[in-house]
Amino acid sequence: MSPRTRHSLELVLDNLVWFMLVFVLAVFSIFIPNFAQLGIFANIIEASSVLGVMSIGLALVIIAGHMDLSVESVAALSAMAVGIMFCSSGIGLGLQLHPDWLMVPVSLAIALAVGAVIGVINGFLIVRLKMSAFIITLASYIWVRGLVLVVSGGRSAQDLAPAIRWFGIQRLTGLPLTAWIAIGCFGAFSLILAKTPFGRHLVMIGGNETATFRAGIRVNRNLIIAFVLAGAIAGLAGWLLAIRTSGATANLGVGLLFNAFAAVVIGGVSLKGGVGTLPGVYAGVLLLSAINTAINLMGLPANFTQVIHGLLVLAAVLLDAFKQTIRQKLA
């Protein structure tokens, strides 16, 4: 095999999920009437912003060889915190700040801080006390959701302050600003993971934690930062969620965790750690969103979505194994 073909083959393998996305979009465009229009594509991107942002944090800790099941509940708690403070009806306190735009950075800071605090708790328990990430974050998944119920009393907050809502309404080249935030996050964190020492260390920790420790990399510090980032990014997802729904309900975002997992796995991230890229995860998110949109357009009952998502995850895992065998032959 010439180096050239080998190179292009590796390129295809590395970006397989993007080819799948293009293929799926092409098939939908041909067979589903009214699918092939800019508005639909914009809608696919728009609908995936919350899930996309959440998947970034989840992908970071999984690539570092751990797990964060709490991201969904953390997003809900952040959304609820923002909702309670800045919504004017329901349980909202209707807090007003002057000038109005000040509410944007303040609400964002609150959402990020709520997420970061839970990230610190997760990270500390897992890294310092050497407990299993699965169990610790499962506990957080439960108690943080419980906290959402406690602070809301099971009720909801509506009518988010217009200054914050603005991000969900204002459009730039056809996409709302919330979607641009998600795209910007993917861009920034893709660069961090691929191009900085911190990102490189996370990938290597996911590959062989002992080796990185012996090489003098501060493993514990890096892992705690990863969990804090996952929490804060989930907080950002919660902020976007509050904007999207113009408030917060006690069961906001239920089920997002599994979609995020699906997106991460479809995007080529190995649950064993050390393998995966964020652009791939974004493609996974868009793929899920495209399928949802197609199901809506075809008028199929929404219940089909879950079946298809499940099959897609299965297909992604099988595909991953297949890729491994091809790579083995390439080497």
Examine residue 212 and tell whether it contacts another protein (CB under 8 A). Answer: yes
CA 72 to chain centre: 9
Binders of another protein in range 27-86 (CB under 8 A): none
Q: Match 């890096």 to its residue by tokens.
A: 222
Does 214 engage in binding with another protein (CB under 8 A)? yes
**What separation in angstroms does the CA of 297 have from each of 133, 179, 259?**
39, 21, 20
> Total residues at the site for another protein (CB under 8 A)?
25
Return d(Cα 267, Cα 15) in angstroms, integer: 9
Q: Give me the DSSP letters along 154-192.
A: T--EEEE-HHHHHHHH-EETTEEHHHHHHHHHHHHHHHH
Asked whether 87 and 73 are in contact (CB, 8 A), the reply is no
Minimal distance in Å, beta carbon 105 to another protein? 22
The nearer residue to another protein, 211 or 311, going by C-beta atoms, is 211
Q: Which is nearer to another protein, 197 or 301 (CB)?
A: 197
Extract the tokens encoding 329: 């032959």
**Between 111 and 278, whose beta carbon lies closer to another protein?**
278
Of residues 272 through 301, those in contact with another protein by CB under 8 A are: 274-275
Distances in whole angstroms, Cα of residue 322 to Cα of each of 143, 261, 265, 268, 301: 39, 20, 14, 12, 32
Q: By CB under 8 A, name the one of 109, 169, 218, 298 that touches another protein.
A: 218
Q: Which stretch binds another protein (CB under 8 A): 92-100, 216-224, 236-244, 306-314?
A: 216-224
Subset of 172-211 contacting another protein (CB under 8 A): 195-197, 200-201, 203-204, 206-208, 210-211
Instruction: Decide: is 325 part of the binding site for another protein (CB under 8 A).
Output: no
Rounded Cα gap, residues 149 and 251, in angstroms: 8
Which of 83, 267 has the CB closer to another protein? 267
Residues that bind another protein (CB under 8 A): 195-197, 200-201, 203-204, 206-208, 210-218, 274-275, 327-328, 330-331
